[in-house]
Amino acid sequence: MTDQPKSSEGSAAPFGGLTIDFGNDSPPAADGAGKPSGGEGFGGFAPIAILQESSPAGAQTRASGPGTSPTAPGGRESKLLIIGSGPAGLTAAIYAARANLEPIVLAGSAPGGQLMLTSDVENYPGFAEGIQGPELMAAMRAQAERFGTVFVDADIEQVDFSGRPFRVWARGEEYRGESVVVATGASALWLGLESETRLRGRGVSACATCDGFFFRDREIAVVGGGDTAFEEATYLTRFATKVHLLHRRDTFRASKIMIDRAFKNPKIEIHPNTAVEEVLGDAKVTGLKLRDTATDMVRDVPMEGLFIAIGYRPNTEAFRDWLEVDDAGYLVVHDETGSKVDGVFIAGDVHDHRYRQAVTAAADGCKAAIDAERWLESQGITEVATATAW
Ligand SMILES: Cc1cc2nc3c(=O)[nH]c(=O)nc-3n(C[C@H](O)[C@H](O)[C@H](O)COP(=O)(O)OP(=O)(O)OC[C@H]3O[C@@H](n4cnc5c(N)ncnc54)[C@H](O)[C@@H]3O)c2cc1C
């Protein structure tokens, strides 16, 4: 088994007979600092508490900071329910709480959202040295709690948006809101390997825009056969010395233009009939165990990073009877954050398959909270508009 980091000498034909090689060989891999080599993972950061399944009816945390007043009886009624606690949901909560809407956040079974799956975040404004994803999310949650947001760390299973108050069920309990922000995100699809999960943020990623920069002068692989995989592979050639595109079939779903562009790129090697069996490495990715799906032959190849580009699943199941979804299953927005149900607003990756960034999701959360506040005011539910009272 190969378990040494790749050297320039070792890069000649790492895939042996499986390759279609359009490229020249790479210069030596630099050993710069960055996500793939950072062995510190999530250590040292206070985790966001995930409440026990046994907690009755979804345990709640209630803030006691300045300006906090009790939410309605049992903590299950609010002027605003926010569903999801990624950057979109938490930013909505910060704005709504500061506007005295006393929001309840149904935070889901993955509190903090997608950024909990990554280590260094270097493109969120305000952190010159970068910040760890879980640390950023813990800070956002603390900020929302400080202004009185109530959190329920449970998935919602069902909603009824037929009229006000809007009703939402989580762990069998009913929550009622005069307005709702849906911010349930879109989950990146993974291969499902134990080694892939263990090495997430340590060389394994699902976001080229977010993490490509960490792979300067490295040899990496992208898994997938659709447009996203080809697009990400092409994008990653800006940083990597070589990008191996791995696909388990011998045909690709990607458009011809994307395939042609990749085939012409000397830094991309395309490997059809190639499945990842295991990601190798302890503290960081050092290689891949690959299987030729045509011959079943297994081999280890040195590799310094792995991007999974096999798609996203928008978390919209519970809303499909009430809100519009597009062909890919994402929610459709009208007029910035609105939905086809007045009083129900949409924010973040649950509708956005174009940008998929923490900062755009946070911006959406801000807009949705302000829109909800203005809508509540227009309905006579709240008396004073505070959204612009900075
Ligand atoms: C590996 C990886 C690395 C990334 N790195 C970066 C980066 O460096 N910089 C950057 O800007 N972006 C990065 N991103 C993208 C970024 O994480 C997303 O764009 C952002 O998190 C989207 O925010 P969101 O709030 O819309 O959704 P999410 O963060 O996906 O949050 C969705 C929330 O909804 C909840 N939820 C889902 N279903 C339900 C339900 N039924 N009931 C209740 N709650 C529910 C979930 O538990 C979660 O709390 C990365 C993404 C990945 C996958």
Cα distance between residue 104 and residue 83, in whole Å: 8
pLDDT (0 to 100) of residue 60:
54
- Give pLDDT tens digits for 310-355: 999 999 999 999 999 999 999 999 999 999 999 999 999 999 999 9
pLDDT (0 to 100) of residue 389:
46
Nearest ligand 1 atom, CA 120: 8
Residues above pLDDT 90, as percent of the chain:
77
Assess whether the C-beta atom of 348 lies below 6 angstroms from ligand 1: yes
Calculate mean pLDDT across residues 35-39: 44
Same fold for the pair 9-31+190-308 and 60-188+313-378: yes
Q: Of 120, 153, 155, 210, which is the active-site residue?
A: 210
Inform me whether the pLDDT recorded for 67 exceeds 80. no
Task: Check if the beta carbon of residue 173 is closer than 8 Å to that of residue 58.
Answer: yes
Q: Of 153, 211, 292, 352, which is the active-site residue?
A: 211
Contacts of 152 (CB under 8 A, 6+ apart): 58, 59, 60, 104, 105, 106, 107, 170, 175
Residue 193, token pair as written in the block: 């390997």
**Residue 44 Cα, ligand 1 centroid: separation in angstroms?**
22
Q: Please give the backbone phi and psi of residue 129, each rounded to the nearest 5 degrees, phi first.
A: -100, 5
Nearest ligand 1 atom, CA 358: 11
Domain boundaries, the chain: 9-31+190-308, 60-188+313-378
Nearest ligand 1 atom, CA 350: 26
pLDDT-based confidence at residue 65 (cuts at 50, 70, 90): very low
Cα distance between residue 153 and residue 381, in whole Å: 27
Nearest ligand 1 atom, CA 157: 41
Element (H, E) at 136: helix 133-146
Assess whether the C-beta atom of 140 lies below 6 angstroms from ligand 1: no
Calculate mean pLDDT across residues 21-35: 32
pLDDT (0 to 100) of residue 52:
31
pLDDT-based confidence at residue 118 (cuts at 50, 70, 90): confident
Instruction: Give the count of beta carbons closer than 10 Å to the beta carbon of residue 264.
Output: 10
Q: Of 120, 207, 349, 352, which is the active-site residue?
A: 207
Residues above pLDDT 70, as percent of the chain:
79
Task: Check if the beta carbon of residue 99 is closer than 8 Å to that of residue 384.
Answer: no
| Confidence (pTM) | 0.81
211 assigned to active site? yes
Cα distance between residue 68 and residue 247, in whole Å: 53
Task: Check if the beta carbon of residue 339 is closer than 8 Å to that of residue 323.
Answer: yes
Contacts of 47 (CB under 8 A, 6+ apart): 134, 138
Inform me whether the pLDDT recorded for 56 exceeds 80. no
Contacts of 141 (CB under 8 A, 6+ apart): 48, 85, 90, 111, 112, 151
Assess whether the C-beta atom of 366 lies below 6 angstroms from ligand 1: no
Inform me whether the pLDDT recorded for 237 exceeds 80. yes
Find, among 217, 190, 228, the residue nearest to 245 by Cα.
228
Cα distance between residue 347 and residue 182, in whole Å: 6
**Residue 203 Cα, ligand 1 centroid: separation in angstroms?**
19
Residue 185, token pair as written in the block: 């995100």
To test the pocket of ligand 1, the residue of 95, 109, 114, 141 to mutate (highest count of ligand atoms within 8 Å of its CB) is 114
pLDDT (0 to 100) of residue 190:
97
Contacts of 130 (CB under 8 A, 6+ apart): 120, 121, 122
pLDDT (0 to 100) of residue 117:
86
Nearest ligand 1 atom, CA 123: 9
Assess whether the C-beta atom of 184 lies below 6 angstroms from ligand 1: yes
Q: In this structure, which CATH number among 3.50.50.60, 2.40.440.10, 3.30.70.100, 3.10.20.30 belongs to the domain 9-31+190-308?
A: 3.50.50.60
**332-337 contacts at long range (C-beta below 8 A, 24 or more positions apart):** 336/367, 336/371, 337/181, 337/364, 337/367, 337/368, 337/371
Assess whether the C-beta atom of 206 lies below 6 angstroms from ligand 1: yes
Assess whether the C-beta atom of 87 lies below 6 angstroms from ligand 1: yes
Assess whether the C-beta atom of 221 lies below 6 angstroms from ligand 1: no
Assess whether the C-beta atom of 107 lies below 6 angstroms from ligand 1: yes
pLDDT (0 to 100) of residue 382:
85
Place of tokens 């010159």: 128
| 30-61 per-residue burial string, b: 16 or more CB within 10 A, e: under 16 | eeeebbbbbeebbeebeebeebeeeeeebebb
Residue 62, Cα to own-chain centre: how many angstroms? Answer: 26
Task: For residue 183, give the amino acid letter.
Answer: A
- Give pLDDT tens digits for 253-286: 999 999 999 999 999 999 999 999 999 999 999 9
Assess whether the C-beta atom of 359 lies below 6 angstroms from ligand 1: yes
To test the pocket of ligand 1, the residue of 81, 90, 116, 118 to mutate (highest count of ligand atoms within 8 Å of its CB) is 118
**Residue 7 Cα, ligand 1 centroid: separation in angstroms?**
35
Q: In this structure, which CATH number among 3.30.70.20, 3.40.640.10, 1.10.1660.10, 3.50.50.60 belongs to the domain 60-188+313-378?
A: 3.50.50.60
Nearest residue by C-alpha to atom 42 in ligand 1 = 155
Assess whether the C-beta atom of 343 lies below 6 angstroms from ligand 1: no
Assess whether the C-beta atom of 104 lies below 6 angstroms from ligand 1: no
Pairwise pLDDT comparison (224 vs 42), residue with the higher score:
224
Nearest ligand 1 atom, CA 349: 26
